[in-house]
A = this chain, B = another copy of it.
Amino acid sequence: MPRIDAPTVAEHRAQQRRAILDAARALLAEHRRAPTLAATAQRAGLARSSIYRYFASQEELLAAVVADVFPAWAATIRSRVEEAHGPGEKVWAYVRANLDLFTSPEQDVATALSEVVDPGILREPVEAFHAELRRPLVAALAELGEPCPDLAADVVEAAILPVARALTADGSTLDPDDARAVLRRLLGGYLGL
């Protein structure tokens, strides 16, 4: 068991796991695509093969990254929706909360995760948490009398993405208020706002 820098092995393990997770998250945010294990390992300061001591596969590692980020995100959205009064307001609160998250300090990961609708390795872990995250939206839509709340929720969420992308694009000069206004106009009739 080569060089251990923490007092105990258990702590060392926790530190290494964190280092790998952080490295993967940073690379995901930078490149907006699933990071390679080689790059992740280099950034975390260990050998590529050693990653497998902590995660069974690249997919599991990425799922762990997602699991690391989503809970706080979901909690924020849920509370924002709960603060709103009436189903239409709740849907709008959901939309705004999402847009705010995309332009928040966690913007990098949030954007990257959504950008990567990759049919590849990131898709499955992201979608698992997605189902959890969108529950308040589905509920609000059902309350609005929408016969297909799940499908409608898909549509609303899909509509949010391009706006978020436009807001976080590199040389974007788009005013956040204008961006919100586009969504508001588009979904406005439905929301009764």
Which residues of A does B touch, CB under 8 Å?
Answer: 32-33, 115-120, 146-148, 151-152, 154-159, 161-163, 165-166, 174, 178-179, 181-183, 185-191
16 contacts between A and B (CB under 8 A): A117-B117, A146-B185, A147-B178, A147-B181, A147-B182, A148-B174, A148-B179, A151-B163, A151-B174, A154-B166, A155-B159, A155-B183, A157-B162, A186-B187, A188-B189, A188-B190
A178 contacts across to B, CB distance below 8 A: 147-148
- Contact among B119, B151, B189 for A182, CB-based, below 8 A: B151
* Nearest-neighbor residue (CB-CB) of A122 within chain B: B119
Closest to A33 in B: B119
Contact A190 B185 (CB under 8 A): yes
Q: How far, in angstroms, from A69 to B32 measured CA to CA in the complex?
A: 29
CB distance from A48 to the nearest CB of B (A): 22
Q: Sorted from nearest, which 4 A-B pairs have the closest CB atoms?
A: A189-B189, A154-B162, A158-B158, A155-B159
